[in-house]
Amino acid sequence: MAEQKDHWSSSTYQHSASFVPKLATKIVQWLDLQPDDVVLDVGCGDGILDLEFGKILAQGSGSLHGIDNSPSMIKSATDLCAKDAPKCTFEVLDATQLISCAKLQKPTFTKAFSNAALHWILRRESTRQAVFDAIHAALAPGGTLAFEMGGLGNVCEMRTALLMAVSRRVGMPAALEADPWFFPDEAWITATLEAAGFRVDKVEREWRPTRADQGGVEGWVRLMGAPLLDAVPDAERDAAVMEAVEVLREVCRNPAGGEHISYVRLRCLATKV
């Protein structure tokens, strides 16, 4: 199998998407982390939230293990937490392969958490159910799963502009094959979690227009749209970016200043039964 390209870096993420962990307040409240919790963070990214979790876990016997398929993000998380959150450990692991990772399939975690990652992880229909089955297997009886991801309608203007720019160059079938996201609604996530053996305690979808970071819509397109843009030949890629950005600068323009992106967040709290 060809090695998967790593599109992520902590510095680029902080330039164009630093708002993602900053806006996780509500799902962190739902997680209700306690000092003795043993936590699995699915799609942990660069560890910004884990650093804060580590301060709580340091007060008790708890620990955290974060997984992400980006080696550069795992390195950033490890470096960030090494000194001030030593009870947090990290591992390069694609969450779609979690079901085959024996050491993480033992029911030892009291809580599982994921923020802004599952809409990437669930991209392929064939692995969607298996991801939640694996998280369920990793949790101790009565353990909880708290997550936030993109919900139905998330970043629809960004996705539309990217698909149009890419499909004009490689065709719509190829563009759709490269589309890296899956944004479900409350009904889909509830049914999928129940099929995995969870009881869904809370689920909601919130429209949350979000101000673009210092990289603006262009920074967002280049970072978040990288898997889609990879479908375009190298010589045409910058033209595809600017075609999407030209329309997005107008569509996302806030008359009061800056650019706003139409985020829709899907949050859920579920219990292993």
Where in 136-215 does DSSP place strands (E)?
Answer: 139-150, 198-211
In the chain, which stretches have pLDDT less than 50?
Answer: 1-3, 8, 13, 15, 17
pLDDT of 7:
60
CA dist 211 and 264 (Å) reads 13
pLDDT of 123:
95
Q: What are phi and psi of 74, to 5 degrees?
A: -65, -40
Residues in the chain: 273
Strand order, beta sheet including 198-211: 88-92, 63-68, 38-42, 109-115, 139-150, 260-272, 198-211
**Degrees (nearest 5) of the Cα angle 134, 137, 141?**
145
Burial class (CB in 10 A: 0-12, 13-18, 19+), 166: buried
Rg (CA), the chain: 19
CA dist 18 and 3 (Å) reads 27
Whether pTM > 0.85 for this model: the answer is: yes
* pLDDT tens digits, 4-52: 565 645 555 454 545 566 678 999 999 999 999 999 999 999 999 999 9
CA dist 124 and 111 (Å) reads 25
Kindly state the DSSP code that residue 116 receives in the 8-state scheme. Answer: S
